[in-house]
Amino acid sequence: MDLKSNEEINKKCIEVLNREKDKYKNNFHFDSPMGLINDPNGLSFYNGEYYIFFQWNPYGCEHNYKHWGYTKTKDFKKFKFPKVFIAPDDSYDKNGCYSGSAIVRDGNLNLIYTGNVKDINGNREAYQCLATLSKDEEIKKLGPIINSIPKGYTAHFRDPYVFKKDDTYYIVIGAQKENLKGTSVMFSSKDFRTWDFLGEIKTEYKDFGYMWECPSLFELGGYDILVFSPQGLEKEEYKYQNIYQSGYIKGKFDYNTLEFNHDDFKELDMGFDFYAPQIFKDEKGRTLLIGWMGLPESEDEHSSSKYGWMHSLTIPRKLELKNGRLYQTPIEEMKNFRQEKILSLKNIETNHLNLDNVKTNSYELVVELNRGNSKEFEISFMGNSTEYTLLKYNFDSGVFIIERFNNNLKRREERKFKLCVEDTLKLNMFVDKSAVEIYIQDGIEVASLRVYNNEKGTDININTKDSKLMINSINIWKMGEIEYYE
């Protein structure tokens, strides 16, 4: 296939985003403008703005022709029209500009990514490559900075995460060992040109999936945290329910020995659609996360493809460490999307509450309730006569269940997870046209999911099956849209 020029793609992107939205195009989530997006890349605060890069096939809804696209914003509400950053048009990245990260150095934004190369037999080569973006947005591809794969690892060697500690630059890379076990490795450099292989990050997980993708290593709350996305984990009762997972380990990392003394792996999101999160810090000192609201190998489940696009990114989340756990909360800037308050109720004791006056499919809902003597609570939303989305919680067992059913998939799906809630349950729900994020108990758990209903359904129902519960408060805001500018 002959690649179009970046200018042609950029022009087409503006044209597409200026059209009337289809029924699945979200309002306040960043969607693929056209074609397929997946991993967020190169997340950074640079020159007074947030830069969001992403994996992008602008030609179709398949995992081919991977470019890097990018946009930027000052407030996460007004975004620059997405553009191509780099295309797979060199010998070292001809089969895809795969995921990577960014660091500000010498006044430029330096982006390191994996150049993917395959021969006619499908054999891989992987190169860790450098590109730069200047303040006036001049783009330069500078080629590989790590040309070879260390002995003992396969060509599944990708997704470099770059950072600086003291006077040394480090890169963490997701890898697969020759025994087909997943891991992550490190390189270091003093001058950003010559990179030395340090070795493997030594964790307790010697047999934890066959590949670790998209690692991020950072410090928070006095601890070192490694976020990564392992592939090949076997499903357990309340864990590892998706095809692939994303989570973290927390502890103390020794940069001299590469020993990581850590606690158990914890998943970051318990919903249906979340993968490849990347972590970065901003000028306010916040540690932020953005993830892909999708999963590899799930393209047949996304009905937006008939409109020529697929996949979205999560809203940005602030990370905090509390009581040994990562809490994720929506950034304050999400309040900029709030328009009129549709509903505000307090102190209602009931076993059924029907909210049929919402009349919008993009809203934020904040509810706090006490169980009273009730055993089980459920909230249904995005429903109509034949389709529904449902969140249940059993106060006795501590089990959450998220269900979805729509006429496109023609099957009921559920995810289960456990969280002990003593008396008061708090939910903060961001419901968009085809994307939902549920923040539970101030963000100790989060669940992300895509919902492609054939018909619009805006009714919200809160029910208990036994005794009444007390709804301390419920507030709903209609949410506005991302605004794009040239």
Q: In the prediction, which pLDDT does 28 show?
A: 98
Q: In the prediction, which pLDDT does 457 show?
A: 73
Digit-by-digit pLDDT tens for the chain (486 residues) are: 678 899 999 999 999 999 999 999 999 999 999 999 999 999 999 999 999 999 999 999 999 999 999 999 999 999 999 999 999 999 999 999 999 999 999 999 999 999 999 999 989 999 999 999 999 999 999 999 999 999 999 999 999 999 999 999 999 999 999 999 999 999 999 999 999 999 999 999 999 999 999 999 999 999 999 999 999 999 999 999 999 999 999 999 999 999 999 999 999 999 999 999 999 999 999 999 999 999 999 888 899 999 999 999 999 999 999 999 999 999 999 999 999 999 999 999 999 999 988 889 999 999 999 988 889 999 999 877 788 899 999 999 999 999 998 767 777 899 999 999 988 999 999 999 999 999 999 999 999 999 998 777 778 999 998 888 899 999 999 999 999 999
CATH fold of 6-330: Tachylectin-2; Chain A (2.115.10)
Q: In the prediction, which pLDDT does 318 show?
A: 99
Region class of 285: left (phi > 0), else alpha (psi between -120 and 50), else beta: left
Residues of the chain with CATH 2.60.120.560: 335-485
* DSSP 8-state secondary structure symbol assigned to residue 6: H
CATH code 2.80.10.50 for 335-485? no
Taking the C-alpha atoms of residue 360 and residue 334, their distance in angstroms, rounded to an integer, is 17
CA distances from 414 to 116, 244, 405 (A): 35, 16, 9
* H helix runs in 303-451, sequence order: none
> Which residue in 31, 39, 93, 269 is the catalytic one?
39
Tens of pLDDT, residue by residue over 293-306, are: 999 998 888 999 99
Give the strand order in the sheet containing 376-383. Answer: 352-355, 459-464, 376-383, 388-394, 399-406, 411-418
CA distances from 411 to 250, 309, 355, 445 (A): 37, 23, 26, 25
263 is catalytic: no
Residues of the chain with CATH 2.115.10.20: 6-330
